[in-house]
Structure 1
Amino acid sequence: MACKTFFSFHYTEDVWRALNVRNCWVVNDDQESVGFFDGSVFEASKKESDDALKTFLRNGLKNTSVTCVLSGQYTASRRWVRYEIVRSVLKGNGLLTVDIHGVRNNAKELGVKGTDPLVEVGVYLSNGKIYFAEVKDGKWVKYSDYASAIPASDLWFEPPASNAVVKLSKHCMRYDFAAQNGRENIAGWIETAAALAGRR
């Protein structure tokens, strides 16, 4: 049975590209995606409160085993994409990045390749406890939207051994949808991410 997958992306900038990628992947009944929220629902949740949106996103991740980050030009710096990545790690989901700048948007325009979002989120050890970190203004800082320590047993990858930040990208694969024939290969990429996290 195929993985139930959460797709994380920058809604305003990349929803058209993301839908095209998702539609290539969902080709039969046992491939189910989560995370394609109706735009009005997403915007309404943002207006309520940060806590309401966090709950909304956590609920979106329920019953998924892989999170596929669809990366465009600005995705890496998006607060709620980072939150989805962090919650995915806490949940034990497999993670992968798929660059989608080579997919045309509704205006038939190609995008610009952005930074891998998994390069800008990491984990580090401090006083014997593991925490998330993120890049802000070019520097690593403690991740602000989830400040609690992470039990090492919750990580499917090797825990950090020092206060040097280990980027999540060290443990995850990155692909280019256009250049690597994502139309044919994305299902395999998602299965690989699931296997790396022990979710198969």
Structure 2
Amino acid sequence: MARRVFYSFHYQPDNWRVSQVRNIGAIEGNKPTSDNDWETVTKGGDKAIEKWIADQMHGRSCIVVLIGAETAGRKWINHEIIEGWNAGKGVLGVHIHGLKGVDGKTSSKGANPFDHITYGTGGKKLSSIVKVYDPPYTSSTDVYDHIKKNLESWIEKAIEIRGAN
């Protein structure tokens, strides 16, 4: 049975790369939002955005952060990570800089977004527990194939890790 996941990503620079990952059939991801839908949500302010995120996360077992060049440290990415973690969902990251964008080019590797978030009473970085995967290839086709081959097992591992913590 396919897992239902919530994809977290920086929309403007990475939506083309993200659409490639969403097309991997073994995983049921959240429905893509159009620019117009997102504009409508954001016009409602922070509370509307928080509600939209909560609605999108409902019934999902894992949060997959697709990490582009500018993903780390973004307000809503951080919010999605924290909400997913606090709800007991599996959380993981996948670097997507090696996938070609709409312009046919790859991008630079982004920082680990889990370095920006702490958890527990000791204030440990979430990056000390959440796994981030970086496909070891330079060809966009090879990067895609690596993600396709491994995403399902990465999600299962993230759910297992979260269950143990």
Give the TM-score normalised by structure 1: 0.73
Structure 1 residues not aligned, in runs of 5+: 124-158
Give yes or no for the alignment of 1:121 onto 2:117: yes
Report % sequence identity: 31
- Greater helix share, 1 or 2? 2
Matched, 1:174 2:139: no
- Which residue number in structure 1 is paired with residue 2 of structure 2? 2
> Post-superposition shift, 1:100?
0.3
Q: Would you say how many aligned residue pairs link Structure 1 and Structure 2?
A: 157
Residue 69 of structure 2 corresponds to 73
Q: Where is the strand percentage greater, Structure 1 or Structure 2?
A: 1
Aligned twin of 1:104: 100
Aligned partner of residue 95 in structure 1, secondary structure: strand
Quote the residue 1:186 is aligned against: 151
AA matched with 1:12: Q
Identify the residue that residue 12 of structure 1 maps to in structure 2. 12
Deviation at 1:89? 1.2
Distance apart, 1:177 and its partner CA: 3.8
How many angstroms apart in 1 are the aligned matches of 2:163 and 2:2? 14
TM-score under structure 2 normalisation?
0.88
1:119-176 superposed Cα distances (whole Å, 9 cap, x missing partner)? 11112xxxxxxxxxxxxxxxxxxxxxxxxxxxxxxxxxxx43x3xx311111111101
Higher gyration radius (CA): 1
**Aligned equivalents of 2:150 and 2:63: distance in 1?**
16
Could you list the runs of 5+ residues in structure 2 that have no partner in the other structure? 138-142
SS of alignment partner, residue 197 of structure 1: helix
